[in-house]
Amino acid sequence: MSYSTRLADHAKKQGRNTRIALVGAGQMGRGFGNQLGHMTGISLSVVIDIDPARIQTVYSDLGISDVVISDDLKVLSDAILAGKHTGTSNSELVSKLPVDVVVEATGVPDIGARVTHSSLLAKKHVAVLNVEMDVTIGPLLHHIAVENGVVYAVCHGDEPVEAKVLVDYARDLNFEIVAAGKGKNNPFEPLSNPDSVKEVAAKKKMNPKMLCSFTDGSKTMTEMVALANTTGLQLSKRGMYGPAATVKTLQDVFALQADGGVLDHPGVVDYCTGDVAPGVFVVVRHNDPYIAHEMSYLSMGPGPYFTLYRPFHLASVEAPITVYRAILDNESSLFAPHLNAEVVCMTKKVLAIGDVIDGIGGYTVRGYADNALDAKSDNLVPIGLIAGAKIIKAIGVGELLTYDHVELKSDSLIVALRKQQDEMGLTYAS
**For 223-250, what is the mean pLDDT?**
98
Give pLDDT, residue 269. Answer: 98
Q: Which of 31-45, 242-256, 343-357, 380-394 is the least confident region?
A: 31-45
- pLDDT, tens digit, 9 for 90 and up, residues 175-195: 999 999 999 988 899 999 999
Mean pLDDT value across residues 319-335: 97
**pLDDT over 90 at 429, yes or no:** no
Contact 365, 346 (CB under 8 A): yes
At the topology level, CATH places domain 341-423 in Type Iii Antifreeze Protein Isoform Hplc 12 (3.90.1210)
Question: In the predicted model, what is the mean pLDDT of residues 143-157?
Answer: 98
Output the pLDDT for position 186. 84
Q: What is the pLDDT of residue 1?
A: 84
Beta-carbon contacts of residue 407 (< 8 Å; ≥ 6 apart): 389, 390, 392
How confident is the model at residue 430, as a pLDDT?
Answer: 72
Work out the angle at residue 33's Cα, subtended by the Cα atoms of residues 32 and 34, and round it to the nearest 5 degrees: 90
pLDDT in tens, 110-133: 999 999 999 999 999 999 999 999
Which residues, including other chains, have CB under 8 Å from residue 14's CB and lie 6 or more apart?
Answer: none
Peptide bond into 278 cis (omega under 30): yes
DSSP string, 406-426: EE--TT-HHHHHHHHHHHTT-
Specify the pLDDT at position 32.
95
Amino acid in the structure at residue 47: V
The domain segmentation of the chain, as residue ranges, is 3-157+317-329, 159-312, 341-423
pLDDT at 417 over 90: yes
Identity of the residue numbered 278:
P
**Which pLDDT score is estimated for 367?**
98
pLDDT (tens digit per residue) in 263-290: 999 999 999 999 999 999 999 999 899 9
Residue type, 284: V
Q: What pLDDT is stored for residue 287 in this prediction?
A: 86
Mean pLDDT of the chain: 96
Beta strands in 82-203 (DSSP E): 85-88, 101-104, 125-128, 152-154, 176-183
Write the pLDDT tens digit of every residue in 193-234: 999 999 999 999 899 999 999 999 999 999 999 999 999 999
The whole-number average pLDDT for the span 154-172 is: 97
CATH code: domain 3-157+317-329 is 3.40.50.720
Is residue 239 pLDDT above 80, yes or no? yes
Q: How many whole angstroms separate alpha carbon 72 and alpha carbon 175?
A: 55
Compute CA 388 distance to the chain's CA centroid, rounded to the nearest angstrom: 21
Provide the H-helix boundaries in 158-267. 159-172, 198-204, 208-215, 218-231, 250-253
Q: Give the count of beta carbons closer than 10 Å to the beta carbon of residue 420.
A: 15
Contact call for residues 360 and 387 (beta carbons, < 8 A): yes
Distance between CA 207 and CA 186 in Å, rounded? Answer: 15
